Structure 1
Amino acid sequence: FPRQQRGRRLCLADFHRAEDSGEVDTVALQVVTVGSRIGEETARLFAADAYRDYLELHGLSVQLAEALAEYWHARVRREWGIGGADPAGLDGMLRTEYQ
């Protein structure tokens, strides 16, 4: 995990307990997708100059992937016991007001 190029030059390892602390620490990584079929269909629409349909389907697929990522993010936080501090609204989510 590379360090940030500016500012405090942090990296993921800076947020985890040292190995000699005797405590187990974990990190959750996720990759989400709505599948390759959406990509194939948006490519077909773009090639056919159906730009409005392309943009609508592409936008929908991006929003579905974001919703899926947020679902798994919330589930991991709940399973780790830190989900109770989740932001109440969209503004808090966009400002990443999570523990």
Structure 2
Amino acid sequence: MDARREVAARLCVPAQRIEADLCLGGRRELLPGLKVLVNRYRRRESLHGRFMVALDREGRCGCAPALVAEPGLEPSAPLSRLRCSILTARLGTIPVAALVGGATR
């Protein structure tokens, strides 16, 4: 198994749990674990998206945009839309799954 597949397999269950918790309205209890995952897997946009949603729900949306900034990398279109929706306070009107999806980029 190559390294990328191994990482994807290792993240599958935690990502599904996080997605389910977000869909059920969870946020505060997710932040510490998500922060660790985002820092460990900096290029996994799906984790960044879920972290931004959790931060927004906790009223800390100002923290989210800087998390995806990394020199030489541009966020994908879905992650850019999520960032814009958070910054324009429209997140509550857009389903989480439509924004963060299952992307593992």
Q: What is the TM-score of this pair, normalised by structure 1?
A: 0.30
* Greater relative contact order, per chain length (Cα 8 Å cut-off, separation 6+): 2
